[in-house]
Amino acid sequence: MRRAWPFLLLAMLGASSLQAQETVTRTVPADGAASIRVFNLVGTTRIVGWSSDSIRVTATVPKGGGRFFMGGSVTAFKMGVEAKEQGAEIPPSTLEIRVPRLARIWVKSATASISVENAGGELDLASVSGRITVTGSPRVVMAESMDGAIVISADAPVMRIKSADGAITVRHAGGDLTASSVSGAITVTSARELISGRIESVTGRVTFEGAVSADGALDLQTHEAPITIALPATQNATLDITAFSGKVVSGFPGARRTATPGQPVRYTLGSGSARISVRSLKGGVRIQQLDVKGDSNAP
């Protein structure tokens, strides 16, 4: 009997917690490429793409604190959590939303984390300090945060990622990518060849690991943080590197270096077809070779 006490206590606490929450579930028909706007400022928003032409929302809101709302039909929807009275604090709420995989998603949050899984449409995600994560193969990803981390593990042809303090991690980058931060570190791993890329930070470390297409262009820039570029052994590229007060180091076997006074340091790999431009006022620059598994092989 004594052993049962902790379980009884937990059960009572759980019941109490459940009573304090209000869960609303709604399912509505939706166009396969519907536009969906979501406002959930505090808590968690999880969006999952599915193959059904419908939207199913499960909203969990603290009882008495806030109110779930939803409007729109078939092609356009708006939903979120608002305060019960104007000016009142909005409580932390959880939204779990199943959407047609190709839906266009727009999410705004203050501190709420935003997670989008199995997405195939256009995504526009913004948070002040919540974490943003994306998986799937969305057509376009636009994500911005002031000081929350952004992790994009998606195969998207177009990405526009921006943060101030928050770190940016992009896996499977390809196509057209812009990533920018003020002080957050930026790490980009390219699974297929990048066609056009611009990665810049003021004081955040920048790391690029992957390939650039033969006619592609990649710009990397920091004000005072180090930049590391790891390229596959088969990469053909011309790298023009300007590091005003940092060192430029190559660990890439066979890279042909040309240094002319008053000009950027130039490294040529293979035929030199792709253009890679690297600038830093105070940071150093390192180029190195990726090993066959895609991990950088630092000398």
Partner 1 sequence: MTCDAFRDLINGYVAGRLPADQMEAMARHASACDGCRDDMDAAVALAGPLATLPRDIAPETDLWPGVARRIVPAPWRQRVLAAAAVLLLMAGSSVTTAVLMRRPPSAVPSVAGAEVAQAIEARYAPRTLELAAVLDRERKDLAPATVAAIERNLAVIDRAIAESRAALDKDPSDPDLRALFRTSQAQRVALLEQATRIAREL
Return residues touching partner 1 (CB under 8 A).
41, 108, 110, 126, 128-129, 144, 146-147, 162, 164-165, 180, 182-183, 200, 202-203, 221, 223-224, 242, 244-245, 261-262, 264, 275, 279, 281-282
CB of 219 to partner 1, least distance (A): 9
CB closer to partner 1, 101 vs 108:
108
CB of 9 to partner 1, least distance (A): 35
CB closer to partner 1, 66 vs 100:
66
CB closer to partner 1, 63 vs 247:
247
CB closer to partner 1, 41 vs 103:
41
CB of 178 to partner 1, least distance (A): 11
CB closer to partner 1, 31 vs 240:
240
CB of 41 to partner 1, least distance (A): 6
CB of 202 to partner 1, least distance (A): 5
Tokens (6 digits) for 186: 């930026």
CB closer to partner 1, 27 vs 245:
245
End-to-end CA distance of the chain: 63
CB closer to partner 1, 183 vs 236:
183
Distance of CA 114 to the CA centre of its chain: 10
In terms of Cα–Cα distance, which of 110, 155, 111, 150 is closest to 132?
A: 150
Positive or negative, the CA dihedral 24, 27, 28, 31 is: positive
CB of 154 to partner 1, least distance (A): 22
CB of 15 to partner 1, least distance (A): 34
In terms of Cα–Cα distance, which of 21, 39, 26, 125 is closest to 80?
A: 39
